[in-house]
Amino acid sequence: MSDKKNIDILISEVGPRDGLQSVNATMPTELKLKWLTALADSGLREIEVGSFVSPRLLPQMADAAELVAHLRKRPDVFVTALVPNLKGAEAAFNSGVQKITLPISVSEPHSLANIRKTHEQVYEEVRSIVSLRNERFPHVEIESGLSTVFGCTIQGEVREQDVIGMALRMVELGVDEVGLADTVGYANPAQVRRLFNRLRGEIGAKAGSAHFHNTRGQGLANVVAALEAGVTTIDASQGGLGGCPYAPGASGNIVTEDLVYLLESMGLRTGVDIDKLVAAREWLKQGLPGEPLYGFIPDAGVGKNFHYAGGAR
């Protein structure tokens, strides 16, 4: 997303995709639409609405095109989606999405488990997707979301030079930006700071978002490290929903509500109203009854001395 006027850090809400694909229940479309509206009303400016995948594999994502159409009515929201292959990319492009994220596993065993492709097959798929975009949908942005960057539950250690090598290959293939994801929650702040600094040094402005899981309780600490390395877009999921079904032991994403509080309390403008954001959880509770939702801020509140970085709302 190129427009970041009046904010310092862009929060990309990934709950409607990463969160909902990770639960067994399927949230009714009518409640998803109300949830998306509430998220947008809270001030979130980028929302990943779903994945363009086979509904047989992920029935939770079968209504992705309808969700894109709904949010595209909001000029204040940048609408994104995840796509694993060329077929999904074409469907996403035709739906009117503004950016797609390609899940690119640095760990080849994870790639085989997640999208059933070797690295060489992934490169061919990315080449085809970029070619399609350039020919027919030049206005759509393409992000390579590098996963298992800080370690993999299947492969184990993932070398930093392999991460940088994959990032360079993605840029060579024509993507617009490269983000880094801690798919299984192995990352620590020193590692995050070091790798994002290396990434910016290698690909400059094409270095994109940070995506952290809180599996081992270091999610927000890793956010601070990413900020210190110059990252200005952070993924998060309302209620901490999320996790990769093909990465054993990977629990939820960092909680959007807690992230907003962290950033605003540090004097960084997000454009998000915490009270409205917390209120949006009600649609999740209705759509996924009994599903655990996480976060400290929804329970504890923001406290009497809290002030928004951008001033009173």
> Which residues are known catalytic residues?
244
One-letter amino acid of 141: E
- CB-hemisphere CA count at 13 Å for 74? 21
Token couple for 34 = 């109300």
